[in-house]
Chain A
């Protein structure tokens, strides 16, 4: 291998890494706040890319119908829970309505806008809005009543949600794959390396996301409140932080980040209804590299996985995935040797 190939591979790897970085940060985020290992993160990525792809064709994306369905279920659950709790129909109806309003609005706007063939950026914005609306609903429907369960139960729930969302993706998008147009068709030749506009967008967007996340959790009161929930649910509740709200908020952020990654990745590769899983899992490997705890660490972890993947596919392309997923073992080994103790009573 000469330096030309190496630099091309490196750039390729860093670009991949920049795509995994947001996914993996939201894994870290969701885990930190709710102790949920959120396997369906990748589904948000696929949903984001596919929603935009369908909007491009001028049709109403299936995600809208799915969103309405999920909102309906969530509203019914909310109605039922409030009714059991207060026996007050007015309050229950109000709570249900509050659950419904945002998803329904987003859906209506999308249904109206779909045939109008607006500019790519408008469609991108709509896609993000649709997928982001999934976040709190998924939390409400699948996780909220299990908030105090052990991380292992929550992990198994995540697997269930992943199954359901993948199957629904197949139902609403079909088995066909899509590739989205680039947002910026710039081409820059820097010596041997060709830098495309999309690469620059990916890099900048991913870096910006991570910095924003870091600022949010380290510097804002809201972010600190979320972290407090993660450390001590009851304590946080006594301080007036609702654990339901914290969970829904973190899932909203996860969905938002997933949708954005979907837009970033859409132009670089063909996305199918089930593509999200592998992307999500690579985000995981990266998150584990980072120890599921820090955002700058998550970025470095993602870059590491991206570069391993691109060099792996050069040397042994058939075994690319094997290499990426086996890397986690030595990383875990190092972690177990350096941390040196197991947690008590988790």
Chain B
């Protein structure tokens, strides 16, 4: 029995050729073709904005590049449209890459601003260049055809165009459910967690920006051969904004939302363009009033778009367990017990004049659980961030397994075998526990975007899921594999983070306040897991407030106060230390 989602997809695929034999008016196909063109562009926005959290108002400009490239080359140079498609895609990719490299390193609002500027300047460029026919554009473009068969502008093109839309939608769906897709879905909530899992967030942002631009360029190529003429108006900023509007109305987080939005806005647009001038008495583009108000209303009352209402009604997709017999992922060689693993040498962090971490040194040997403790504001978290590469140290060295980590970004440190959790749980709430944990194995896979879209990544995916399941079972969460991560209780979320860190096959596990906010029972479970991991030879650095827990599981304690090292030693000795007591409880004067 196939799932309703797969059945829906099949019905869609069958409906495309079926529609053409029905006695429908030609006008319908013109409408459907336009909707298909819009859908392609909106699909890119789903990937970029809905999933990746980046916003672009410049998609129409990329549509324009695709359309103008084929218009110029086919009309003026007589080239075949099948040749102009790759050229248009290459041009688009180059432009998108340039824009992305310039803006994506900066905070979120620079990209939309840059795309607004880019959309405008391309519009004026197209409108003023002699070679592009100025504001009149280029006319006389031929329709598409293949092997003597002319697609035309109606039914023939409809089948071709919607086949592309369907393929693109399936490709995006496949992408989102893959190693690369999990990395892309992690982009939205800040880069720290994704980077700690070894994801090069900048590269993935550039990738989805270019992918979205390419989808727009394909739409532009089709547009030129469908309309048989191009002019700048169709690629201006207003259209760029309208694409975003379609995606938001339909549901920018959902692939099918793009299609729903494109269809709805196109039909609404047609109705309003007739209705409003009649109502008002003069002609003019009054429909933008309705669009503007509708956009605000949707964002207010239905921020996930129309498709989210359908999505709620659909049964949740159950991942079929097909990884039972997958080959295990290769593991890195582990250091022998007692070997020096982490050597922190006089690290220091200054924020302006404030010395947050003052020349701290300590060591961790393989198989040890070391606790980093101290009162609030002692600099524990800063130390933790220095070791994991989130913050750059002012001076000092961190040597991990014989290698200096100075200046390495956190994803490179993760690659060398340091797995970590976060003080405030960072996860992707709308993915399942299993998928969240599989993100931890990011560095142990290699398959990229293209193999994800074409489903050539199945073997590796099965390996990753097998590992994720193994790690979840290792810490006793085998019953929660398919639970949505956002629905878990706090204690289970923290355990899930540990499983995710374990999935990277670490030699050292860094846990940032794993017991914070846990109830007594959950704390007992955590202690059990830590004990078990230690028994299996794992080395752990623990930053923790909870004294009972620290005293119970740690072999060695490092105590900090006001950024400096107060003392270190075995728990029993620390417990008796008058300096430590004074630091926590104050001294008598």
Contact = CB atoms under 8 A, between A and B. Distances in A.
A152 B55 contact: yes
A155 B303 contact: no
B519 to A, nearest CB: 26
A161 interface: yes
Contacts of A324: 121
Interface residues of A, number: 52
Interface in A138-163: 142, 145-146, 149-153, 155-157, 159-163
Interface in B109-126: 109-110, 112-114, 116-118, 120-121, 124-125
Given A152-B109, A322-B124, A167 B102 contact: no
Interface of B: 49, 53, 55, 57, 99, 102-110, 112-114, 116-118, 120-121, 124-125, 128, 189-192, 202, 241, 244-245, 248, 280, 282, 284-296, 299-300, 303
B296 A157 contact: yes
B295 A156 contact: yes
B121 A157 contact: no
Contacts of A189: none
Contacts of A288: 110, 113
B109 A142 contact: no
A288 to B, nearest CB: 6
A336 B107 CA distance: 9
B121 A146 contact: no
Residue among B104, B287, B293 having the largest count of chain A Cβ atoms under 10 Å: B293
B289 A342 contact: no
A326 B117 contact: yes
Interface of A: 37, 142, 145-146, 149-153, 155-157, 159-168, 170-171, 174-175, 281, 284-285, 288, 292, 318-319, 321-322, 324-326, 328-329, 332-333, 335-336, 339-346
B295 A328 contact: no
Contacts of B295: 156-157, 159-160, 163
Contacts of A292: 109
B299 A160 contact: yes
A332 B284 contact: no
Given A157-B296, A163-B291, A326-B121, A336 B102 contact: yes
A146 B298 CA distance: 12
B109 A37 contact: yes
B189 to A, nearest CB: 7
A281 B49 CA distance: 22
Contacts of A165: 292
Given A145-B300, A328-B117, A336-B102, A159 B124 contact: no
Nearest to A329: B102
Contacts of A322: 121, 124-125, 128
Contacts of A167: 285-290, 292
B107 A346 contact: yes
Contacts of B299: 146, 149, 153, 156-157, 160
Nearest to B122: A322
Contact of A37 (B99, B112, B120): B112
A150 B189 CA distance: 11
B112 A152 contact: yes
A85 to B, nearest CB: 17
B343 to A, nearest CB: 27
A247 to B, nearest CB: 15
A326 B58 CA distance: 13
A164 B296 contact: yes
Contacts of B294: 160
A285 B288 CA distance: 24
Contact of A332 (B57, B106, B291): B106
Contacts, number: 152
B58 to A, nearest CB: 11
Given A155-B55, A175-B284, A281 B106 contact: no
A259 B191 CA distance: 41
A170 B300 contact: no
A170 B281 CA distance: 13
A340 B106 CA distance: 8
14 contacts: A37-B112, A153-B299, A162-B292, A163-B289, A164-B291, A165-B292, A288-B110, A321-B120, A324-B121, A329-B117, A336-B102, A336-B106, A345-B190, A346-B190
A325 B124 contact: yes
Main secondary structure of the interface of A (DSSP, over half): helix
Nearest to B241: A159
A161 B117 contact: no
A156 B227 CA distance: 29
Closest 9 CB pairs of A and B: A164-B292, A163-B292, A160-B295, A167-B289, A345-B190, A343-B107, A325-B121, A318-B128, A167-B288
Nearest to B296: A160
A171 to B, nearest CB: 6
Contacts of A345: 189-190, 192
Nearest to A170: B284
A168 to B, nearest CB: 6
Contacts of B103: 332, 336
Contact of B121 (A151, A170, A321): A321
B525 to A, nearest CB: 29
B292 A161 contact: yes
Contacts of A328: 113-114, 117
Contacts of B110: 288, 332, 335-336
A344 B190 contact: yes
Nearest to A343: B107
B102 A171 contact: no
A174 B286 CA distance: 11
B296 A329 contact: no
A326 B124 CA distance: 11
A210 B293 CA distance: 33
Contacts of A344: 190-192
Nearest to A287: B113
Given A37-B112, A151-B108, A175-B284, A281 B289 contact: no
A156 B117 contact: no
B114 A170 contact: no
A165 B245 CA distance: 16
Contact of B113 (A37, A168, A171): A37
Contacts of B113: 37, 284, 288, 328
A343 B105 CA distance: 9
A164 B299 CA distance: 15
Contacts of A150: 108
Contacts of A156: 55, 244, 248, 295, 299
Given A152-B112, A322-B121, A326-B117, A171 B289 contact: yes
B109 A342 contact: no
Nearest to B53: A152
Contacts of A332: 102-103, 106, 110, 114
A153 B106 contact: no
Contacts of B292: 159-167
B121 A171 contact: no
Given A152-B108, A160-B294, A346-B108, 9 more contacts: A152-B109, A153-B303, A155-B112, A163-B295, A165-B292, A318-B128, A322-B124, A336-B103, A336-B106
Contacts of B107: 342-343, 346
B102 A163 contact: no
A166 B290 CA distance: 11
Nearest to A326: B121
Contacts of A329: 99, 102, 114, 117-118
B532 to A, nearest CB: 33
B323 to A, nearest CB: 33
Contacts of B102: 329, 332-333, 336
B124 A168 contact: no
Contacts of B288: 163-164, 166-167
Nearest to B252: A156
A164 B55 contact: no
B196 to A, nearest CB: 12
A165 B286 CA distance: 11
A152 B45 CA distance: 14
A170 B280 CA distance: 11
Contacts of B289: 163-164, 167-168, 171
